[in-house]
Amino acid sequence: MAAITYREAVREALREALQSDARVFLMGEDVGRYGGTYAVSKGLLDEFGPQRVRDTPLSELGFTGLGIGAALGGMRPIVEVMTVNFSMLAMDPIVNTAAMMRHMSGGQFSVPVVIRMTTGAGRQVAAQHSNSLEGWYAHVPGLKVLAPATLEDARGMLAPALADPDPVLIFEHAGLYNMEGELPGPVEVDIRRARVRREGQDVSLITHGGSLPKALKAAEVLAEQGVSAEVLDLRVLRPLDETSILASVRKCRRAVVIDEAWRSGSLAAEVVARISEQAFFDLDAPLARVCNEEVPIPYPRHLEEAALPQVEKITAAALHLMGR
């Protein structure tokens, strides 16, 4: 079985979507001749042509709106936004149009658009290219928000997203594109459920996206110290899979929520609130969060690393809950 990268897994998902449905097309900045800013769409223009792989002007507001219009017209567009930071320029069509259309039309119209964008820090590209804002979109009714953090999800989430009659946002962490492993052929992914990535019984580490590998590494470190950590990959940020979250917390009775976003108003805060509301009396220790420091992401590597969740911070938070 040949090794494949996360980047290649996303490319294979795009290729399969373009092959299987003539209504599907990919659009965004540099997705065609350049092959994608992160080389995800490399080779697809030669294979499918400029009608199916469309380079757009440098206007997130414009081309995201065009994608939404195409979806309303019966197409199945995949809109690529280069980075989540730039998606702020397209907030109006995403939030005010795509997310609200089914409600405001009384169910007469749906917007089957998939919007992919890169998120996350850790690559020394400074503050304007390093945010993790997927929690903003997870706040909005009418959107489905996905965060693939494994090769399986990178390969398998696109097909069910395209089959969804409503808008789906897929956040790909830039730090994962070079992640490599084996993937046995096409995979089916349930885009309604979280997934336990490591079983444990002492503390639940709840996370998503680029923090998943850190949480898994932290679980290994904790195991060496006699602490059994369960790792829950949220992977579906809206709607949150409360059943899986509560099951993990009630099993382990302690929880650390890891979120590569600022602590204030974070998705981690929402997860902690829901656990407090529904499983407070199942806890043996206060809930803990490991989030970004409350600063714009710095450029120097040592400061960037200090600002982000790291294995050491996750491990320390879990040990503190264990009374160590």
Q: pLDDT tens digits, residue range 154-193?
A: 999 999 999 999 999 999 999 999 999 998 777 889 999 9
Rg (CA), the chain: 20
Can you give the pLDDT of all 324 residues of the chain as single tens digits?
Answer: 679 999 999 999 999 999 999 999 999 999 999 999 999 999 999 999 999 999 999 999 999 999 999 999 999 999 999 999 999 999 999 999 999 999 999 999 999 999 999 999 999 999 999 999 999 999 999 999 999 999 999 999 999 999 999 999 999 999 999 999 998 777 889 999 999 999 999 999 999 999 999 999 999 999 999 999 999 999 999 999 999 999 999 999 999 999 999 999 999 999 999 999 999 999 999 999 999 999 999 999 999 999 999 999 999 999 999 998
How far apart are alpha carbons 189 and 174 in whole angstroms?
21
Q: How many CB atoms lie within 10 A of CB 165?
A: 11
On whether the CB atoms of residues 25 and 54 are closer than 8 A, the answer is yes
Can you give the pLDDT at residue 1? 61
* Sequence-distant (≥ 6) Cβ neighbours of residue 277 within 8 angstroms: none
How far is residue 282's CA from residue 275's CA, in Å, rounded to a whole number?
9
Strands 114-119, 144-146: pairing is: unpaired
Single pTM value for the model: 0.97
Alpha-carbon distance values, 148 to 172, 187, 195 (Å):
6, 13, 11
* Active-site hit among 8, 129, 134, 172: 129
How high is the pLDDT of residue 184?
77
DSSP annotation of 300 reads S
Q: What is the pLDDT of residue 230?
A: 98
* Partner residues linked to 233 by β-bridges: 195, 207
DSSP assignment string, 164-196 = SSS-EEEEEEGGGTT-EEE--S-----TT--EE
Nearest CA-CA partner of 44 in 69, 24, 68, 70: 24
Find the helix packing angle between 267-279 and 242-252, rounded to 10°. 60
Respond yes or no: is residue 60 known to be catalytic: yes
Nearest to 212 by CA among 1, 6, 4, 2: 6
pLDDT at 15: 97
Domains, the chain, with CATH or none: 3-182 (3.40.50.970), 195-321 (3.40.50.920)
Helix (H/G/I), strand (E/B), else coil: 62: helix
Cα 228 to Cα 77: distance, rounded to the nearest angstrom? 44
The answer to whether residue 208 is catalytic is no
Burial class (CB in 10 A: 0-12, 13-18, 19+), 280: exposed
Which residue among the candidates 8, 29, 60, 270 is catalytic per the annotation? 60
Q: What is the pLDDT of residue 188?
A: 87
